[in-house]
Structure 1
């Protein structure tokens, strides 16, 4: 049984809006160090996002920014970790899977290519069938990590190729509030 809700409740006892940069950094760093727990971190982000969408959006922006930077620097491990986290954020409905729509549109166009062999056409048709059935045979979220009711979710629309501001200015400490 997941202890993610308990962790979220403890987090919510603090002013995480004011410390949103620290929360985002801590979760992303922890996931980067332990990618096998990515589904758990994504579930935690989903809970945070349902109560504080601005924090969820900040985390998403930083994941996309880190992914882009890791890709450009050819840092394969971090690139894989950020890709995995982004995929789980899509599964948790924190980010809209815009890219998935684009991929299926391209596959649809490929179906009508005369040079495409029969086996490939059949595989593409299978993908469309799986998608039409809502990916039921491929559950994207473990049942014990599906913690947010659909009505309570807030989903962000961020494009992977768009430049998004990771809000680095939030990382500076404000000595006035010490």
Structure 2
């Protein structure tokens, strides 16, 4: 080939290509993720410099969790395993999870609200984020469009009730008592009634069937986790500028970074 026809890249272009490659490798590893290999996947992701690619990591995890909410605890465990080594990565996930929840709730999208709330629940279970954010989410569900979000609030309590009760026993008792009164005082539809009864039964059994962290996903030693303070009552910077710097270099090697469909089930 004539040297004049060879494609050359400057430093910024090479960085863009490298970022695109890292993003695809994050996605490939997420596709391999299961309950049994979280630590292995986290170790391999750690080799990809997740600080530099933290926006890639964050968005890939959050898209996957939205697409496969039944695996929310697995995605949260992955973040928990990465977080002690790369706290900036865990902090970004925590902030964007909080922002995504608030946006979903404000848009009155029930499915997105429940899925977004579930990620916050399991990040709190894993102590990636302080329990205060879980309480913020619960209060938001109970006070912002409560007729839309009562079932989501009950489901949220099931997801992280063990942790909430441990963090504030009397406060959680009062919350469950409010759900009990709701059953006695109003005519509620069958799906909501079933959800509330499920919560009451879980609470009476001390969440025996709904532990904060199942054994296979309890990967971080006590005292090693870095717990981030994020609150819906305070401004949250989701650092979307990281995304703009990514997208500005994404055209270099043949287009954008792909669609949501590239992220598959764990």
TM-score of the superposed pair, with normalisation by structure 1: 0.78
Q: Which residue of 1 aligns with 2:71?
A: 37
- Kindly report the root-mean-square deviation, in angstroms, between the aligned alpha carbons of the 2 structures: 3.1
Query: What is the distance in 1 between the residues matched to 2:169 and 2:235?
Result: 20
SS at match of 1:171: helix
Query: What is the distance in 2 between the residues matched to 1:160 and 1:3?
Result: 33
Query: What is the distance in 2 between the residues matched to 1:75 and 1:103?
Result: 30
Q: 23-32 or 135-144: which moved more?
A: 135-144
How many residues are matched?
A: 162
Residues 1:148 and 2:220 are matched in the alignment: yes
Residues 1:83 and 2:155 are matched in the alignment: no
Query: What is the distance in 2 between the residues matched to 1:173 and 1:106?
Result: 43
Query: What is the distance in 2 between the residues matched to 1:84 and 1:9?
Result: 25
Q: Encode CA deviations 1:95-149: one digit per residue, 9 max, x unaligned.
A: 11122457844856xx9xxxx9xx9xxxx9xx69x5xxxx677521110000000
Residues 1:69 and 2:134 are matched in the alignment: no
Q: List gaps (5 residues or longer) in structure 1.
A: none
Query: What is the distance in 2 between the residues matched to 1:103 and 1:169?
Result: 40
1:1-178 to 2 correspondences below 5 Å:
2-98=36-132, 99=135, 100=164, 104-105=170-171, 138-173=210-245
Query: What is the distance in 2 between the residues matched to 1:144 and 1:107?
Result: 29
Q: 42-51 or 151-160: which moved more?
A: 151-160
Cα shift at 1:167? 0.5
TM-score of the superposed pair, with normalisation by structure 2: 0.53
Q: List gaps (5 residues or longer) in structure 2.
A: 1-34, 136-163, 185-199, 253-266
Query: What is the distance in 1 between the residues matched to 2:209 and 2:233?
Result: 30
Q: Encode CA deviations 1:25-53: one digit per residue, 9 max, x unaligned.
A: 00001000000000100100101111111
Cα shift at 1:83? 0.5
